[in-house]
Amino acid sequence: MRERRTTSRTKTWVTLLLAASVTWGAAGAAAQTPEPTNPAGEVVAPSVTLPPTTRENPFAGFETYYLANGMKLWFNRLRGAPNVTASVVVPYGRDRDLKGREQLAHFTEHMLFSDHDGRSEREIKNAVEGLGGIRNGVTYNDRTFYFVTIGNEYGLFAIEWLSRIMSPHDMDQEVVERSRQPVAVEINSRPRELFEHVGAALNPDWLLPAPFWEREFGLRGRAVMHDPWVSLHDITAEDLRGFYDQYYAPAAMTLTIVGDLDPDQVLDLAERTFGTFPSRDVAPLGYELTDPGRARTTSFWGFGSDIGYDRRYKLFNPSAEDQLYVLFIRDLLGRRLNQRLRYGERKAAYGVATTLIKRGPAAYLRLGGDINEDEYDYAVQVFDEELAQLRAGSIDPSAFEEDRRAIIERLRTSNLTTEALSSWPRNYFYDPNVFDDFPDVLGFYAQVDQQALAAFVNRTLVADRELGSVTYLQPVSQGVMLFALILLVTLTHRGVSGMLTRPIEMKTIRYIARFRTALLIRFVRVIVFAGLGLILGRLVIAGLIWAGSAWVVTIDNYVLQTTSWALMLSGSIALVVLYLAWFPRKLLVFPDHIRVKSRAYSARVLRPEDIAEISLRRFRDVWLSTDIVRCTALAFGLLGPGLYIRPKKGRALFFRTRDTMELTELLGEWRGAPVCVTANSGGPRRAPNIAVPPERGGRTAPSAASGKSREQDIVDAEPAPITVKPTPSVRTFDDPVDVDQ
């Protein structure tokens, strides 16, 4: 048995009485005020023409009913309306998607329009479209909305048609598979390829900055980096049935019917169709809000023509009355700000937007727009003045009444159609825990006074719930910015390289050996170190984003903020250079030490007393032993032995060069002790005549070509070998920039 509640008739009389009083007051004022004239005495039109306010209130006709299964029905007989709009809003959306089953709410919406009751999807949709009707479903984060609009003569049919759409479905597996592809096309989903997999791996949800709703309200939605293709194809018919059964309870839905239909016929039909849905327990909305309890203002600088200005006020769990107050403030400020900033003498902005954005029990009022740079200070002053007048209730009474009449008539005019009235449950009145009855928005606007409005503003639009953001214009051109970036990168690179570089005496170099890395090892090193570099780089970027979001963007000073970004960029470049310093490239032999040079300027200095072991080893002596754990292996040692250098501190090095045996002999002489040869590693192929440093009893080998000292040969950068007999396989100073470390 349905319950009927008439809630708007009294409001209708209040609205009409207020409207009449306003009209009589305006008429009396007009009778006492002489017609305006110009200097010549000619009568001219008044500067402001107030519209009549005796038209019918489109919001006042709504009545609330409850069907037998608990479903709420809002019905408004909008006399003379050519169309009928029937809609259902379900207060659950994408926020209720299961983890790993993202798109479940959206897929459920699609399934309700698919094959059902022996009719195909084409037949179902054509039943409305063939009669000139419009139908659709939309899934939001916190709600799902279904509607049909059709000519008045087909209004009862539209109600019955929508009930079939919303009724329980079998979710047949074959139908599910056919309906999956349209959803994939709509969300532009496809199987991930290499770059998408890498991007997803480098951007886990825990590494991404908190989205707006989570940061400011504590609302956690579905995973940002979920795989839409996998999630969509993992959804089963059981998942869809379970989602419908859990969230499509009749007592959670709101059915809204607007049109020139007989109320008794509408109610009887609704009871015979929607009222037969099986009753279910209503699932909780599942939102838990957290108020960070702080204001936040951010500043940015970009290239453009205007300054972007944005001011927001957060609302937590607003009541029905709170939301109506915010809607009134939205419309009132929208008019007053545009009157002063767009239509006034100082054209400070093209337009100011005032909007109310909702998500579950969270909402915010947004004020903002693009402002002329020369008028920015004036525009901010206007924003502050208007808000201050609202808080103080000090708007001129006549101006307040004029503005109120204007927004009421605009509200009236824009809600004379069935589609417009049905949009209110879609956008604002969808939470059944907040809205029992369809609010009389126009009647509420007519009753608002400045004192009550000021009390609400002071209670709700408070400083610690204010968010501000300004995007200023860059004071420098793009060319100057590019030059500054190049200069910053260059100076940072040179500074880091200067810190890592140590001067050496070129004449004292005895030998230069470039490491010959096995192809397979080189490939693996590139993959491993590139991957490790991506991971470390992503962590650094995440840290920079966190620091930038938490601290840098809150600096409202161009020089300080730009300097902070520059320091962060310089630090990132320095980390890249230091990371490349991990990779050894060549070995330099000096009389009193050796240097293992990296690819990025730095070099590791080892003196004889720093070295625990120099030996020739094979594959099994390194790769199949525990020594591999603390060794940088650049060779396998399969075709020939490799040189193994183990310092007393730090990682060992296993490598080959163009002439490993010659370098082995040289290092033995340099160290003053023979190189240890492990079993099966083989010995030197020959015993070349090695130049022994003078301080170890040797002498400088004369050049075979010119008789100059070996030191002079290196200074001249001639590719001559160290030995008396030239050996083409021995490299000398062939890279002056890299060697001078």
Last residue of a domain, one of 438, 472, 506: 472
Flag the least confident range among 319-333, 570-584, 702-716. 702-716
Higher pLDDT residue, 451 or 603?
A: 451
Phi-psi sector, 293: left (phi>0), alpha (psi -120 to 50), beta: left
Instruction: Look at strands 134-139 and 83-90 and give their pairing.
Output: unpaired
Specify which residues 654 forms β-bridges with: 633, 644
Domain assignment present for 644: yes
- With a cut of 80, say whether residue 275 has pLDDT above it: yes
What is the mean pLDDT of the segment spanning 479-495? 93
The CATH number given to whatever domain includes residue 166 is 3.30.830.10
CA 245, chain centre distance (Å): 32
- With a cut of 60, say whether residue 474 has pLDDT above it: yes
- With a cut of 90, say whether residue 277 has pLDDT above it: yes
Please check whether residue 477 is in contact with residue 309, taking contact to mean a CB–CB distance below 8 angstroms: no
Question: By 3-state DSSP, what share of the chain in percent is helix, strand and coil, each rounded to 5?
Answer: 45, 20, 35
Q: Is 407 helix (H, G, I), strand (E, B) or coil?
A: helix
Whether residue 113 is found in the same domain as residue 239: yes
Domain assignment present for 354: yes
Tell me how far apart the alpha carbons of residues 465 and 290 are, in angstroms, rounded to a whole number: 12
Tell me how far apart the alpha carbons of residues 636 and 516 are, in angstroms, rounded to a whole number: 11
Whether residue 669 is found in the same domain as residue 528: yes
Question: 144-178: per-residue pLDDT in tens?
Answer: 999 999 999 999 999 999 999 999 999 999 999 99
pLDDT for the residue 204: 87
Whether residue 452 is found in the same domain as residue 522: no
pLDDT for the residue 590: 93
Higher pLDDT residue, 225 or 485?
A: 485
Flag the least confident range among 86-90, 118-122, 204-208, 632-636. 204-208
Whether residue 399 is found in the same domain as residue 260: no
Whether residue 171 is found in the same domain as residue 99: yes
Domain assignment present for 85: yes
pLDDT band at 251; cut points 50, 70, 90: very high
pLDDT band at 709; cut points 50, 70, 90: very low
Domain assignment present for 693: yes
Share of the chain above pLDDT 90, in %: 69
Domain assignment present for 265: yes
- Residue length of the chain: 741
Last residue of a domain, one of 472, 506, 522: 472
Whether residue 71 is found in the same domain as residue 188: yes
Domain assignment present for 535: yes
Whether residue 104 is found in the same domain as residue 187: yes
Question: 384-415: per-residue pLDDT in tens?
Answer: 999 999 999 999 999 999 999 999 999 999 99
The torsion defined by the Cα of 370, 374, 380 and 382, in degrees rounded to 10, comes to: -100
Last residue of a domain, one of 472, 504, 523: 472
Question: 351-381: per-residue pLDDT in tens?
Answer: 899 999 999 999 999 999 999 999 999 999 9
* Contact partners, residue 545, CB within 8 Å, separation at least 6: 209
Question: 650-692: per-residue pLDDT in tens?
Answer: 999 999 999 999 999 999 889 888 888 765 555 444 433 333 3
What is the DSSP secondary structure assignment for residue 133, as one 8-state letter? Answer: -
Domain count, the chain: 3
Q: For 496-546, give the secondary structure using H, E and C.
A: HHHHHCCCCCHHHCCEEEECCCCHHHHHHHHHHHHHHHHHHHHHHHHHHHH
Flag the least confident range among 43-47, 438-442, 628-632. 43-47
In one letter, which amino acid is 639?
L
Domain containing 119 equals 62-192+227-276
Whether residue 398 is found in the same domain as residue 339: yes
Domain assignment present for 627: yes
- With a cut of 60, say whether residue 644 has pLDDT above it: yes
Q: Is 625 helix (H, G, I), strand (E, B) or coil?
A: coil
pLDDT for the residue 22: 37
Flag the least confident range among 202-206, 438-442, 665-669. 202-206
Whether residue 493 is found in the same domain as residue 545: yes
CA 32, chain centre distance (Å): 60
Please check whether residue 591 is in contact with residue 513, taking contact to mean a CB–CB distance below 8 angstroms: no
pLDDT band at 314; cut points 50, 70, 90: very high
- With a cut of 90, say whether residue 708 has pLDDT above it: no
Tell me how far apart the alpha carbons of residues 394 and 634 are, in angstroms, rounded to a whole number: 80
Whether residue 320 is found in the same domain as residue 427: yes
Question: 13-37: per-residue pLDDT in tens?
Answer: 334 333 434 333 333 333 333 444 4
Tell me how far apart the alpha carbons of residues 115 and 134 are, in angstroms, rounded to a whole number: 19
Whether residue 255 is found in the same domain as residue 323: no
Higher pLDDT residue, 292 or 740?
A: 292
Whether residue 485 is found in the same domain as residue 468: no
Q: What is the mean pLDDT of the chain?
A: 85
Higher pLDDT residue, 40 or 498?
A: 498
In one letter, which amino acid is 124?
I
Domain assignment present for 684: yes
Flag the least confident range among 247-261, 337-351, 686-700. 686-700
